[in-house]
Amino acid sequence: MGPLETADLIGLNTVVNSFDVLYKSYQDPKFRCCPLLKKMVVDASLLGRKFGEGFYEYN
């Protein structure tokens, strides 16, 4: 299982929230969430496996 499939399994919204907490805690740019991931969660509601679509489509 690769990193994108793992992110889908965890839930993309959970991944974004985790990055936000890490960034707020450490103020280190390496923990800043990438714009594509935020756009997927906020704008397109692609939340991962439990919702049927994230980086991959699930039936």
E-strand ranges in the chain read none
Predicted structure pTM score: 0.91
The residue extents of the domains of the chain are: 3-51
Neighbours of 40 (CB within 10 A): 22
pLDDT per residue over 12-36, tens digit each?
A: 999 999 999 999 999 999 999 999 9
Q: Using CA atoms, how far apart are residues 8 and 27, in angstroms rounded to an integer? A: 26
pLDDT per residue over 30-41, tens digit each?
A: 999 999 999 999
**How many CA within 13 A on the CB side of residue 45?**
2
